[in-house]
Chain A
């Protein structure tokens, strides 16, 4: 198992706009994700945050742990409030600024989907980032439409595990015809950094979906947070790719594809998942991975 990651020099030298003092849990993926994202985007960035873990992680009045302007907004309004910041900055002639909406999976897949769809349809010049920890973690682990099939949460308890598969968010965003859609993982920081750097240079609505581990919610050891998240890409359940101007490119190809059971069995939230469901997830994962590879070939 690869223990350390050799970060590129460019990334290491990039500005660190996240100061110490984050109120995140140990092993939190999204704390790291923000650090990497802002390294890629730089200080001319406004961060728009709806209700989510980051409403807390960032710090309470009068402290903020980000060295960029931050606008907190109601739960379902990240994309549209970001559109408003964009409009205001454009009026001020500050068109070079990146306006980044930073929302969880609840704020993206569920309650914020309408305003996100509206912003994407208008092709607002914003970067929308969903840090997906696959449930309502801030409120204490309730299922969202990003929760995978077979997962335990406090609202899908033992005997009533989540029956429905995770919503295909990339598919929804691609259907809007926006210029850039990508997935990213905190377990692959170089790939993550490159995607944010690239997204910064694109005009229009950009959507990046981050898989973000949550040790309390996933029932994993906080020390293994990155390791478990890396397995999600190695088993192809969370492939890393991007779709730029309609062209699909897989950006991280696992050297050796591992079975999904290894990823699932590494987490307490899937402890009660039966073999049947696991086999089904294996089949569905392979189908999705193969269709992604086909799409990559066909759009070349």
Chain B
């Protein structure tokens, strides 16, 4: 059924269709309408779930340690400071191998207060062991939540679905909401290998010494890396069931490209327009959209980017003392190649500042002109 809905509501529908059993959340702008709609769904009976209305984001995720260990499908949503407050629990959930799905609305972090789009929040949690997926449209948000549960439960690892504040969270788009039967066939009920069980009383998350901790961490890494293959299969199965195509990273007009611009989130839609405009001007531009960011799909990135002369990565985040986060990951992915493109960095759209097709085109023209310095990010649109 096609409906015009906001990104946050796309999440709520994804959660409803995934038949989540326990939700625990704390309100934060711009995530709030997710939990409002889920509260409505629980109240009306459209969703048969327990909703724990906790006193903080830290507790929101900590409650799910309990529910997921009890063996039921669990969900939370947050943004910005809320995600940062969860940091300790994000690590714990990964170590405990709990397949929790978290929707994060990408919002800037303080100080000072800024509620608008910026990817610093989830970027800063990239080393917690959570699988991370970045979305470009409301349809992708809904579909990604359903796929996230399939991935999480297959690998027993948590998944974070991220999308830009306001540009998606509060913007209405046409979304095809799948029917329950098709989702049920795609996503069977959650059957964890271990759970709280009185016939077989086990201890979860206890002390492990130096003789085994390393191996436990290695297993997390091994299974996280397996997400590359598993998620490819899930995308294929999703396409067969729902007719929509997703990949770990997506490319647009890259076959004959000499320059590729790399984006994550909503800047991607803008960059598509820029690609067409650049080609009108004779610049052979292509686009790579990052979707799966953790684990890093090295081979796929190398396959798309390895053959061009120049790559420019647009980061909607800025790490003080480093620069953009995505560009450093792209550079390290391409480094082992014998012949590799020159990778430029551009910073744009911080704290919700608008990024237009003209901005992306401007960045690309700057790179194409040979004037860009590879050692310094292009601080696009920075006021003097």
Residues of A near any B CB (own CB < 8 A): 43-44, 46, 48, 55-56, 58-61, 64, 66-74, 76-77, 80-92, 97, 114-115, 117-118, 121-122
Contacts and interface: CB of A to CB of B under 8 A. Distances in A.
A91 B207 contact: no
B183 interface: no
Contact of A74 (B62, B64, B70): B62
Interface string B168-196: 00000000000000000000000000001
Contact of B63 (A56, A68, A70, A81): A81
A118 B62 contact: no
A85 B202 CA distance: 14
Interface string B55-77: 11011001111111111101000
B205 interface: yes
Contacts of B198: 43-44, 68-69, 97
Contacts of B74: 84, 88
7 contacts: A71-B69, A76-B62, A83-B52, A84-B64, A88-B66, A118-B59, A122-B53
Interface of B is mostly: mixed
B67 A73 contact: no
Contacts of A89: 70, 196
A73 B54 contact: no
Nearest to A85: B66
Interface centre among A44, A70, A76, A91 (most CB of B within 10 A): A91
B50 A91 contact: yes
B206 A60 contact: yes
Given A71-B66, A71-B196, A115-B62, A80 B54 contact: yes
B33 interface: no
Contacts of B56: 114-115, 118
Contacts of A118: 54-56, 59
Contacts of B92: 73-74
B197 A91 contact: no
Interface string B35-59: 0000000000000011011111011
A59 B206 contact: yes
Contact of B206 (A61, A76, A80): A61
B55 A69 contact: no
B88 A87 contact: no
Interface in B290-316: none
B207 A115 contact: no
B61 to A, nearest CB: 9
Nearest to A65: B203
Contacts, number: 156
B22 interface: yes
Given A80-B54, A87-B63, 15 more contacts: A58-B203, A59-B207, A60-B207, A61-B212, A70-B204, A81-B66, A84-B22, A84-B67, A84-B68, A85-B69, A86-B66, A88-B68, A91-B67, A115-B55, A115-B59
Contacts of A61: 206-209, 212
A56 B203 CA distance: 13
Contacts of A90: 50
Contacts of A74: 62, 65, 88-89, 92
B370 interface: no
B70 A84 contact: yes
A241 B277 CA distance: 78
B89 A88 contact: no
B276 interface: no
B192 to A, nearest CB: 11
B24 interface: yes
B185 to A, nearest CB: 22
Nearest to B64: A84
A72 B203 CA distance: 8
A152 to B, nearest CB: 29
Interface pairs A-B: 3 shortest CB-CB: A84-B66, A88-B70, A118-B55
Contact of A64 (B50, B206, B208): B206
Contacts of B63: 80-81, 83-84, 87
Nearest to A90: B50
Contact of A69 (B54, B68, B197): B197
A48 B71 CA distance: 15
Interface in B1-31: 21-22, 24
A46 B24 CA distance: 20
Contacts of B202: 64, 69-70
B203 A66 contact: yes
Contacts of B209: 60-61
B243 interface: no
Contacts of A46: 196
Contacts of B201: 43, 66-70
Nearest to B62: A77
A85 B203 contact: no
A80 B63 CA distance: 5
A188 B256 CA distance: 82
Contacts of B55: 114-115, 117-118, 121
A67 to B, nearest CB: 6
Given A77-B58, A92-B71, A114-B56, A70 B203 contact: yes
Given A68-B201, A121-B55, A60 B67 contact: no
A226 B299 CA distance: 65
A281 to B, nearest CB: 34
Nearest to B23: A87
Contacts of B21: 88, 91
Contacts of A67: 201
